[in-house]
Structure 1
């Protein structure tokens, strides 16, 4: 009887160890994205001792940014790095921004623990779609009278990029993980579209011409990169050539469940 119990014990231990080894999938939720009002999930699948593939997706409904002052600081910083448009006359705190993204990723894990635990280097691609209502204002004049035009701009920005990132995934017991994106960078292309469907039919051609010139100077628009149209239907802006996009990725925190 004792012999049978010992055999059964070792069988159970073997099954338990095998089950642990077979926990090659991790489903994660991004905690830092949740603080920004976004829902972001990632599915990671271990392929070998040191490799895994992951696919992330996120969505944020169009709404006010929860940390408006931080958004203004970020936009002001980015403003100094962009040489084809300025955001000085954008009401950043009143902007409603939504987004969704898809991020495929391949990871290489260093060390003896192997995937999916430990320090890793990832190669990733990233597609972002930002869309929102962005209010702007332009100071001009009409027949000698100073006028401030406030234009609600329906904005859409799409990016496609690829890059490298360093991170570390910690084991939390047998089932859970804590995945920390440390730092990374990605480079790619961006397309821009903005339109404000204002009825300008009541104004003469001279006003629309001067309004176009005022928008160009106010927002420091470089027409080598962005095309601006002002007509009876309102104002529209689109990129006329491919625009470069460089951004950082990191300081993200993910809670994962292994299965």
Structure 2
């Protein structure tokens, strides 16, 4: 799905639920306390995101969200490359394959007629795991010639964040709702390690990989602190430091 088509869909949906919100309900009242939702705008990014929400008060609900992205190239890679002014680092990122999942508990405070209606504020936490496969390429000198070598680095990087989501929800029919995540900034920490095995008994080859990892650590990748080390049998890269994210999107909900 291209960007123009996605924007057209979002605009059409926005007009639909704006009109729905301006009219008096024409459907009978339904008091189901449960709702499941699918994030529509995550689908073009090869990500599947859903939420289960349950009303616990007149205008309060609790929810748990799950997001899964199958392993593939970095989403929005061109945007990431535009933030990093280093062609060598960008070349490494193009080789990176990543999959992830997130669990997001939240509590929502609605300001509409009742629960599941109108503007809301939702404090939330998020635990995410990113699984990386990184064929890391580096160059070394052998007998006066420059050669290229790859080492496959694999592992998990985990983040824990907390934030505040601002959104609004509209009732489209007796059981169908539309939920707009307007903005949900969150911040926390990241920690993880990826490792790879290979023959690094050659001092020149090992030193070349050491230098390549140090160049990566010195690059301007946002937020993350990178540290690496090598041995005669492989390499290890550690990720740590602060982390930040942003929630957003349009969700289609079913109340029951």
Quickly name the TM-score band, shorter chain normalised.
0.7 to 0.9
The residue number in structure 2 matching 1:96 is: 97
Selected match of 2:253 from 248, 253, 256 = 256
Kept in 2, the 8 Å contact 1:138–1:218? The answer is: no
- Structure-2 change in CA distance of 1:154 and 1:52 (3 Å): same
Selected match of 1:55 from 55, 64, 68 = 64
Query: CA offsets, 1:13-55, max 9 Å, x none?
Result: xxx96xx442121111111222222222201111222211111
What TM-score does the superposition give when structure 2 sets the normalisation length?
A: 0.78
In 2, Cα distance between the equivalents of 1:43 and 1:75? 35
In 2, Cα distance between the equivalents of 1:88 and 1:219? 13
The residue number in structure 1 matching 2:214 is: 216
Q: Secondary structure of the residue that 1:90 maps to in structure 2?
A: helix
Poorly superposed stretches of 4+, deviation over 6 Å: none
- Structure-2 change in CA distance of 1:190 and 1:105 (3 Å): same
In 1, Cα distance between the equivalents of 2:101 and 2:154? 16
- Structure-2 change in CA distance of 1:214 and 1:130 (3 Å): closer
Q: In the TM superposition, what is the alpha-carbon distance from 1:75 to its structure 2 partner?
A: 5.1
Kept in 2, the 8 Å contact 1:30–1:255? The answer is: yes
The residue number in structure 2 matching 1:11 is: none
Q: In the TM superposition, what is the alpha-carbon distance from 1:229 to its structure 2 partner?
A: 1.9
Q: Secondary structure of the residue that 1:87 maps to in structure 2?
A: helix
Kept in 2, the 8 Å contact 1:140–1:214? The answer is: no
In 1, Cα distance between the equivalents of 2:173 and 2:216? 56
- Structure-2 change in CA distance of 1:115 and 1:134 (3 Å): same
Name the larger-Rg structure.
1
> Is the aligned partner of 1:157 residue 2:163?
no
Kept in 1, the 8 Å contact 2:73–2:98? The answer is: yes
> Is the aligned partner of 1:31 residue 2:40?
yes
Q: How do 1:1-259 and structure 2 match up within 5 A?
A: 20-64=29-73, 70-74=76-80, 76-77=82-83, 79=84, 87-92=89-94, 94-111=95-112, 113-201=113-201, 203=202, 205-220=203-218, 225-239=225-239, 243-250=241-248, 252-259=249-256
Query: CA offsets, 1:182-209, max 9 Å, x none?
Result: 11210111013122222223x2x34423
Kept in 1, the 8 Å contact 2:30–2:175? The answer is: no
Gaps of 5+ in 2: 1-26
Report the count of equivalent residues. 225
Q: Secondary structure of the residue that 1:126 maps to in structure 2?
A: strand
In 2, Cα distance between the equivalents of 1:89 and 1:218? 11
